[in-house]
A = this chain, B = another copy of it.
Amino acid sequence: MTHDSESPRAWRAVLEHVERRLLDGDLLPGERLPGERALAADLGVGRSSVREALRVLEAMGLIRTASGSGPNAGAIIVATPGGAMSALMRLQVAAHGFPVADIVRTRLILETSVAGELADAASGTGTAPDLDAAERLLDAMDSPDLEPAEFLALDAAFHLALAEASGNQVVTATMAGLRSGIEGYALDGLARIDDWHATSARLRSEHRGVVEAIRAADAAAARSRIHDHISGYYAETFPETTPVNA
């Protein structure tokens, strides 16, 4: 009943309140938000409105909620953009907001750039990029008795590991989202592969080639190899897709 204001949506007021507290440094990652009831009382809105705002924050990867009591309970500020980006891309693809071809084009842009950056970093005198995680995944992909779906999951993890190695959290989260957006199509595309054995062998070889070019600090080769790797795969599995330029 607190004559708050003109804002037509109460839950938006909650969202803005939390965002402001974040920007002001009042709330830091790891800290807890006030309880839903307290937040509702403070802002003069109902608890349901608070919950709707918290739901949005949770979907955006801003908070994690837990029931019960103790320091682990409640809404805790985290920053896990990967899941949020994945949900966003997945839903946008489902609603035809993001054409699959644009997802692939964007993936091409980001991965090509990441590979080039990694190679450049390898050439510098400073710390070389950490490719251990990526290579461990490549080793796992050499296992001969992998289901195609398992191989695909490792493949996705490898590409994500490259992004992580670049140290760019925005690119990492975005690539996780892009991958999620086309996951369904990737699984469908498995059925189109005639000779899976040959295809997986080629993919493995291409992966090694990319890492090799990065290690050799050959940015141009890293770029072109990862580009050809991705566009070649999509050309094979989705020949009807609009050809990706770039």
Contacts and interface: CB of A to CB of B under 8 A. Distances in A.
B171 A106 contact: yes
A1 to B, nearest CB: 7
Contacts of A178: 170
A226 interface: no
Interface string A79-90: 111001101111
Main secondary structure of the interface of A (DSSP, over half): helix
Contacts of A34: none
Given A168-B106, A169-B102, A94 B246 contact: no
Interface in A107-130: 109-110, 113, 116-117, 120-121
A20 B118 CA distance: 38
A98 interface: yes
A113 B246 contact: yes
Contacts of A51: 48, 52
Interface stretch (A56-64, A135-143, A206-214, A231-239): A56-64
A184 interface: yes
Q: Copy number of this protein in the oligomer?
A: 2
Nearest to A98: B170
A39 interface: no
Nearest to A86: B2
A105 B168 contact: yes
A39 to B, nearest CB: 15
Contact of A92 (B60, B96, B113, B171): B60
A191 interface: no
Contact of A98 (B23, B96, B98, B169): B169
B91 A60 contact: yes
A117 B108 CA distance: 12
A174 B106 contact: yes
Contact of A59 (B56, B95, B105): B56
Given A52-B55, A105-B171, 17 more contacts: A22-B94, A27-B95, A53-B55, A55-B56, A57-B91, A60-B88, A60-B92, A62-B92, A62-B95, A77-B95, A98-B170, A105-B168, A106-B171, A109-B110, A110-B110, A117-B245, A174-B174
5 contacts: A51-B52, A60-B87, A78-B95, A84-B92, A109-B109
